[in-house]
């Protein structure tokens, strides 16, 4: 929530299968994996089937934030 709003507005909602063809970009996020670009869902391409510029920017922002705030154990 700290990185993405600087790049684009967030809309957290459930996605219906019928919406997949209309997506420009998609990603999955978690604390363990960070930002994972999604290029297809159930064999249907998301956007043009490649990682889009917004997801790339969010991933780069997340990676930079993580690097700046990581604490060694």
Question: pLDDT at position 40, please?
Answer: 95
Q: Which residues contact 35 (CB under 8 A, 6 or more apart)?
A: 27, 28, 29, 55, 58, 59, 62, 63
Domain boundaries, the chain: 4-66
Q: What is the pLDDT along the chain (73 residues), one digit of tens a residue?
A: 566 666 777 777 888 889 999 999 999 988 889 999 999 999 999 999 999 999 999 999 889 988 998 888 8
* pTM assigned to the model: 0.79
What pLDDT, on the 0 to 100 scale, is given for residue 72? 82
| pLDDT score of 18 | 92
Which CATH fold topology does 4-66 show? Answer: D-amino Acid Aminotransferase; Chain A, domain 2 (3.20.10)
Task: Find all residues with CB under 8 Å of 62, minimum gap 6, and list them.
Answer: 3, 29, 34, 35
């Amino acid at each position: 929530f700290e990185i993405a709003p600087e790049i684009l507005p967030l809309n957290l909602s459930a996605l219906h299968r019928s919406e997949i063809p209309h997506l420009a970009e998609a990603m999955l996020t978690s604390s363990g994996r960070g930002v994972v670009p999604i290029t297809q869902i159930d064999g249907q391409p998301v956007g043009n089937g490649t990682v889009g510029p917004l997801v790339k920017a969010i991933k780069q922002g997340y990676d930079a934030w993580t690097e700046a705030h990581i604490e060694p154990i």
